[in-house]
């Protein structure tokens, strides 16, 4: 009799825990992370630089910048043969306070004192499920005599396999899109944040004959809903393609002719990682993995993925 009661008791406990796990799973909000293909970005930029005489003295790499644990990728174009720019002593002291050893500080100083152009495309990292209204292109020109030009009409954003003309958000963008766009220029020592969308997201108001504010570049919630379901107990990441930016960047010294420009079509390929936190209690995680409604075969639910499909 005692064994029977214990068996019933444990069955009830497991059933209650199982229902709790399902309830928690249903209430979870999917988290998404926007990632960029860092390896492809660096490799393609290096190849293009190697094919141009003026580009062979430029080192392309993807570095991580940010505060605390949040460090986002940035494309760095370092001018190897340029004279070093002294780093302020307070920056070196901060590195030591952050835990760097003197040799590490010295190595960091030697690397980051070189003239460079840094390009970062946002948003990136963890994002809420919602619209991405614009793409932000942050360009830092840490050089003495290099000018950086962003050619919008020769750049493109690919969404869903279709290339789209890039439109920079400016004060006169709501009047006419048929005219060629002025280059985005970042002068030596300057930092500029450009906001861009695609031409197809602009519509014209019939009454005023002016362009309306653009539609969102992408809807992360819609993309997450259209993607395959994320298994909270699986080890594999649920990653879907998001969009690609081919950014035409031109660089030259201020005293050089336009014909001597370095031309780079820099490929930023973005993916969407859809995450759902797994149950915190390991037994529930195991139970869902083996008996949850999304398992390949499930005698407890009487269905399988094949049946549902």
Asked if omega into 123 is within 30° of 0 (cis), the reply is: yes
Question: Could you identify the residue written with the tokens 């259209």?
Answer: 226
Return the sign of the alpha-carbon dihedral for residues 48, 51, 53, 58: positive
Q: Take residue 225 and report the two structure tokens written for it.
A: 């809903």
Task: Answer yes or no: are the C-beta atoms of 153 and 116 closer than 8 Å.
Answer: no
In the three-class reduction of DSSP (H, G, I as helix; E, B as strand; rest coil), residue 281 is classed as coil
Sole residue written with tokens 């008791």? 9
Nearest Cα residue to 159 out of 203, 200, 105 = 200
To which H or E segment does residue 13 belong? helix 2-27
Residues of the chain with confidence (pLDDT) below 70: 1, 17-30, 66-69, 82-87, 92, 105-113, 171-175, 230-234, 276-309
Q: Do the Cβ atoms of 271 and 241 come closer than 8 Å?
A: yes
The whole-number pLDDT of residue 147 equals 96
Calpha distance 199→214 (Å, rounded): 8
Place of tokens 């190595």: 107
Cβ–Cβ < 8 Å for 215, 204: no
| pLDDT at residue 277, rounded to an integer | 57
Long-range contacts of 284-293 (CB under 8 A, 24+ apart): 284/17, 284/18, 284/20, 284/21, 285/232, 285/233, 286/233, 287/14, 287/17, 287/18, 287/21, 288/21, 288/22, 288/25, 288/232, 288/233, 289/233, 289/234, 291/18, 292/21, 292/22, 292/25, 292/233, 293/22
């Amino acid at each position: 009799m005692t064994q029977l009661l214990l068996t019933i008791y444990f069955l009830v406990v497991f059933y209650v825990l199982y229902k709790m796990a399902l309830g928690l799973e249903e209430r979870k909000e999917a988290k998404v992370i926007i990632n960029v293909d860092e390896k492809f970005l660096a490799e393609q930029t290096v190849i293009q630089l190697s094919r141009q005489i003026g580009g062979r003295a430029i080192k392309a790499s993807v570095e991580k910048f940010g505060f605390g644990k949040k460090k986002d990728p940035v494309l760095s174009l370092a001018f190897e043969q340029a004279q070093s720019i002294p780093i302020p002593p307070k920056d070196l002291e901060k590195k030591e306070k952050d835990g760097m050893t003197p040799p590490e500080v010295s190595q960091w100083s030697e690397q980051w004192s070189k003239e460079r152009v840094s390009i970062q495309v946002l948003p990136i990292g963890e994002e809420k499920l919602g619209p991405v209204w614009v793409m932000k292109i942050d360009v830092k020109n840490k050089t003495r005599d290099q000018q950086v030009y962003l050619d919008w009409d020769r750049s493109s954003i690919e969404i869903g396999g279709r290339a789209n003309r890039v439109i920079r958000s400016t004060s006169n963008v709501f009047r006419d899109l048929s005219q060629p766009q002025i280059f985005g220029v970042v002068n030596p020592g300057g930092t500029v944040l450009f906001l861009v969308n695609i031409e197809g997201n602009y519509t014209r108001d019939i009454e005023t004959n002016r362009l309306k504010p653009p539609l969102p570049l992408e809807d992360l919630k819609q993309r997450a809903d259209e993607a395959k379901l994320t298994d909270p107990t699986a080890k594999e990441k649920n990653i879907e393609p998001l969009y690609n930016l081919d950014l035409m960047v031109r660089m030259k010294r201020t005293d050089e002719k336009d014909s001597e420009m370095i031309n780079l079509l820099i490929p930023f390929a973005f993916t969407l990682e859809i995450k759902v936190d797994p149950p915190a209690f390991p037994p529930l995680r195991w139970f869902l993995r083996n008996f949850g409604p999304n398992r390949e075969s499930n005698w407890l639910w009487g269905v399988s993925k094949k049946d549902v499909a």
